[in-house]
Amino acid sequence: MDKYLEFAGNHTLLVFALLVSFFVLIITELRRKARSVVAVEPTAAVALINKDATVIDLRSAEAFARGHIVSARHIPYDELDARMDQVSKLAKKPIVTVCETGVTSTKAANSLRNSGFKSVYGLKGGMTAWSQAGLPVVTGKKTKSKK
């Protein structure tokens, strides 16, 4: 214990930087929890999908047909509220919302959380990040859009 105190006394700037980064980390996590939306990286989304999460693709029909995540359900963002009864059937499983860049999916995840859904995640970076991570994409010809 004396060695730690001696180190802290000799390297006050280093200890101060460590404490500041620790508090920034705690504040960031608390803010993330307060927002009630968890944005997940593509690799974390794969883990959720492997645990039977439902993927809701919020992009246009053309973008969905160009390429989407395997087994994704296509529900355009502007139709989300109108098709809430369809989405509510999925409430027992985790839901991952996907858009092109991650902005719309965050809005949709917020909307679903406000509607009472518990386990909703937005794909951080959207399909752009998914593709950049080299994860598989299928076209509309191989799978049907589940409506």
Catalytic residues: 99
Other C-beta atoms lying within 10 Å of the C-beta of residue 102:
19
Residue 96 pairs in a beta bridge with 55, 121
Which of 76, 37, 62, 80 shows the shortest CA–CA distance to 140?
62
What are phi and psi for residue 95, nearest 5 degrees?
-120, 135
Question: For tokens 């049907």, what's the residue?
Answer: 144
- Alpha-carbon span 75 to 16, nearest angstrom: 49
3-state SS, residue 65? helix
